[in-house]
Amino acid sequence: MTITMPDRAEHCSVTALPAAELERLVHAAERPCVAPGADPDDWFPAEPGSGYQPRARACYESRALALCRGCPVELECLELALVREGPVRGHGISGGTTPWQRQAIKASRGWAVRRG
């Protein structure tokens, strides 16, 4: 498998890149989620229901890691999802993370996060 790395701004943290640049980098890369034969719906599996479901959540989290493993723009994709979603909980798998993991990342950064 050939992995093509997109142009990256030298010495610039992914977290400092504007959304437009993140989007450009993500869309320029050869991504598993848009590779020939990939089903984009795989990145949007049914989420565990509300309530305490540690096993279902762990399965979903493992799936997220497996689907995005080897993606050359995993960090950029994650950062873009965080920025795009803002305080709202998103859907599906982005940057190897689940929606609830992204909410936790936002909260850990001190960003406003809507529950639910």
Which residues contact ligand SF4 by CB under 6 A?
A: 26, 31-33, 43, 68, 71, 73-74, 77, 93-96
Output the six-digit token pair for 92: 């599906």
Q: How far is the CB of 67 from ligand SF4 (least distance, A)?
A: 6
Distance in angstroms (rounded) separating the CA atoms of residues 76 and 64: 15
Nearer to ligand SF4, 73 or 82 (CB): 73
Q: How far is the CB of 52 from ligand SF4 (least distance, A)?
A: 27
Distance in angstroms (rounded) separating the CA atoms of residues 101 and 107: 10
Q: How far is the CB of 20 from ligand SF4 (least distance, A)?
A: 16
Nearest to 76 by CA among 28, 27, 22: 22
